[in-house]
């Protein structure tokens, strides 16, 4: 899994200093399953991806759906375990710790880069 930073494309402000990016279909399928809970400075970017599930997870996550340009299309706060979520127009999905999207001031239309 590749590790990089997440930044706001417009302001060049760093949002996360530890962003893990999936590089294989196996990593995409596994996602956060079996992983320790993310910290507020961590995130997982799944490419390509327009849906997630939290089956077998023990904690809630925030899910941010992005288009091909890195623009936020949809934010799902506090997706609980054993749930599904999707955004058909999304090209990638950013998984964050619960309440991180709000604390990082992420919003619809914001453009992100990594």
pLDDT digits (tens, 9 = 90+) for 63-81: 999 999 999 999 999 999 9
Domains and CATH numbers, the chain: 2-113 (2.60.120.1140)
pTM recorded for the entire structure: 0.92
Closest-CA residue to 75 (of 34, 40, 104, 54): 104
Q: What is the pLDDT of residue 39?
A: 80
The candidate with the shortest Cα–Cα distance to 7, out of 87, 114, 92, is 114
d(CA 84, CA 52): 6
**H or E segment at 94?**
strand 92-97
Average pLDDT of span 78-91:
97
């Amino acid at each position: 899994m590749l590790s990089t930073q997440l930044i706001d494309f417009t302001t060049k402000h760093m949002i996360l200093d530890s962003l893990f990016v999936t590089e294989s279909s196996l990593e995409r399928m596994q996602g956060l399953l079996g992983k320790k809970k993310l910290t507020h400075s961590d995130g997982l970017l799944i490419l390509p991806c327009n849906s997630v599930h939290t089956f077998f997870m023990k904690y809630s996550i925030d899910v941010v759906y992005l288009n091909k340009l890195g623009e936020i299309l949809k934010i799902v706060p506090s997706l609980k375990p054993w749930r599904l979520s999707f955004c058909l127009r999304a090209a990638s999905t950013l998984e964050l710790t619960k309440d991180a999207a709000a604390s990082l001031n992420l919003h619809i239309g914001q453009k992100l880069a990594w």
